[in-house]
A and B are shown apart, each in its own frame.
Chain A
């Protein structure tokens, strides 16, 4: 189960009932949000919720480049072991404490040390110095991840950050209430408060998630659908490289019905690891299904039934697994979907977390245990990413299937400042929303 509190994503509106483009935003009001799955835990550093409450030093923009956030400038030594950050002035935490090196360092150090135990942080005033024993050229990408947000805890408030909203109330597992932070350095948000609750079934809130699978919500009319760019890869992973079998399967699997029907045309067929919008070259991996060739390959093997593990309680994954089993059957292989772990094949769902193509590919390669392909990646040279993906796919351990966007429905009284959305396609940022009275 993905530990996802909720994710806020950028727009491309599909059904526009009332176009807010020419209307100025108005301040005030309470936004209600319903999520059908996930944990509501503002203290969890994994949740994107933390973005509304807490901020990182830097962030990745829509073009995949690093932008200042709480840090306005940075330098590093040539050996990448020592970095110096200049903190943004006039930033305060929700409890009024100013953001300085002293107030930021403890949280930052704790977060960084979780993955890099050799980190030390020093500094004073508005300058933070982060030191490692080994080279950390990828530090900026690291500091853009929500896990490294600058927060501190108090007795009454588990999350005190610098973000546009502060935690007003928290009923664990049921509801979170946020209130606008009046002194937010980026300008007070339009909304006065946000209430996020866990609820499935027909949508009643202003904003609600639209998950894939049988827990699809009944989406009322007058709902605009917000979709992020494709940001979740669904793929088949083989426990052991079985090149002929996987080659045959990837020829047998017809992605078009999965995309057209199971994702209701909201997903995209995936042939490579990174989606087209992120890499720009994913179309090079595209192939067409070839059942005859798949059957030919299968006939050379003597295969028993193969188990395909999919995540429990995930009806979309189940539907995809069943469809794959059907395609495989046409090719002459029996695949048995199961929720028991340890199958020869596993259906995985990997989120893409930022628009930094190189960082995402390296991360995904790491998840796959194919880190060796990452060594040759040069973020400035897109061909190196292409070659790394190609080498990975030639290993025949992975069959990408579809990319899924994250979908949210916005009720008619919800408006979004698209200008700000463009800066960050991954998140439907709360601070950019406003509601009609």
Chain B
């Protein structure tokens, strides 16, 4: 059941995956099933209601398509004194959306049902000053990604493999897949880093370090070990390594374990943001465990992109903060995400961070690049 999605979307877009059916497609299927239950020329009145959150546009598309298809199949529509009423409910069960059509003629009621595979989802339009560029999406967790060759090549680090892709007419096509031989079972809440290295790339995972070569021959060789690596590629002095197979880091210059660090600030296991000296950073809202420092082209203060709790428990948000005099002030509107943040790393490119979000609806891991720019 591995499904791999091929998408590259820039700009504002709605993410769709797999063999999703559009409202018109599924309406047509349903209409066929309804009309198979009725003799031709039966006058029919149609009601459509939904128990599922849908975009109003999708709903009206569906209704229009259903009506037209029924008419085309020889069932004239009428609102007054129909011979048969068709009441369609867009419902939902464990497997997904289910269309339930009741065909009511007098005391008789016949029911037909049609599953709707992956209907469009709603996505709240974010209001951001943070720019977000979706890069890759897949069902398996994405730990990190690496864009190479002017963003024409992509390496995706998952918990068990590295995959390579090449941008081809706007779509990523896979060029290689290398499985990582792990010394330890992959940790819960997996985190990992992939970064460029001479001759290819390096992968850092709790308990395992790998190095690999780039396509056309994507290979990777892993050894057990726990090498140190720079938390921020552009600040080589700040190195850290995993604490065995747990997902916290430790650094020689920072005594106790932490989750993330940027610009001299660390998010500790006790969920405080402190500096090396132990001073707390005052933040207006609770930061999550992940943050990454980015260079902002707008302003001189250090800018940190931090994860935080969103409005609903299964959705996080990302927000940009500027640090000044021991305080972090929000510098952007919060960007609500489609799920919880599983990775937020500074990218190899300046001014960018890699963000991986697990979509709470689809379950897919969506990797994107964040940038910070001034809002107009």
Interface membership of B167, Cβ < 8 A: no
CB distance from B112 to the nearest CB of A (A): 6
Most B C-beta atoms less than 10 A away, residue of A26, A386, A387, A423: A26
CB <8 Å contact, B112 and A437: no
CB distance from A392 to the nearest CB of B (A): 15
A71 to B112, CA, bound (A): 36
Contacts of A27 in B (CB 8 A): 246-248
Interface membership of B47, Cβ < 8 A: no
Q: A64-B95, A277-B93, A419-B342 are in contact. Are A22 and B187 (CB under 8 A)?
A: no
Interface membership of B34, Cβ < 8 A: no
Contacts of B346 in A (CB 8 A): none
Interface membership of B107, Cβ < 8 A: no
Contacts of A185 in B (CB 8 A): 185
A185 to B342, CA, bound (A): 20
CB <8 Å contact, A184 and B189: no
Contacts of A13 in B (CB 8 A): 313
Contacts of B339 in A (CB 8 A): 419
A431 to B189, CA, bound (A): 11
Q: A418-B313, A422-B360 are in contact. Are A357 and B186 (CB under 8 A)?
A: no
A11 to B360, CA, bound (A): 13
Contacts of B192 in A (CB 8 A): none
CB <8 Å contact, A24 and B290: yes
Task: Count A-side interface residues using an 8 Å CB cutoff.
Answer: 52
CB <8 Å contact, A278 and B185: no
A50 to B341, CA, bound (A): 31
Q: A279-B93, A281-B91 are in contact. Are A26 and B185 (CB under 8 A)?
A: no
A27 to B101, CA, bound (A): 50
Q: A21-B340, A187-B188, A284-B111 are in contact. Are A419 and B309 (CB under 8 A)?
A: no
CB <8 Å contact, B95 and A21: no
Query: What number of A-B contacts does a CB cutoff of 8 Å give?
Result: 146
Interface membership of B16, Cβ < 8 A: no
Task: Count B-side interface residues using an 8 Å CB cutoff.
Answer: 52
CB <8 Å contact, A276 and B290: no
A90 to B339, CA, bound (A): 31
CB distance from B304 to the nearest CB of A (A): 14
Contacts of B186 in A (CB 8 A): 186-187
CB <8 Å contact, A65 and B95: yes
CB <8 Å contact, A419 and B91: no
Interface membership of B245, Cβ < 8 A: yes
A11 to B340, CA, bound (A): 15
A23 to B306, CA, bound (A): 11
Contacts of B360 in A (CB 8 A): 418-419, 422
Contacts of A190 in B (CB 8 A): 188-189
Contact with B along A6-37 (1 / 0, CB 8 A): 00000101001011111111110000000000
Which A residues form the contact surface with B (CB < 8 A)? Answer: 11, 13, 16, 18-27, 62-65, 67, 90, 183-190, 276-281, 283-284, 355, 357, 381-383, 386-387, 417-419, 422-423, 425, 431-432, 436-437
- Residue pairs across A and B with Cβ atoms less than 8 A apart, 26 shown, are A21-B310, A21-B313, A21-B314, A22-B289, A22-B309, A23-B309, A24-B189, A24-B289, A63-B94, A65-B95, A67-B1, A186-B186, A187-B186, A187-B245, A276-B91, A277-B94, A278-B94, A279-B93, A280-B113, A281-B98, A357-B95, A417-B189, A418-B340, A419-B339, A423-B363, A425-B94
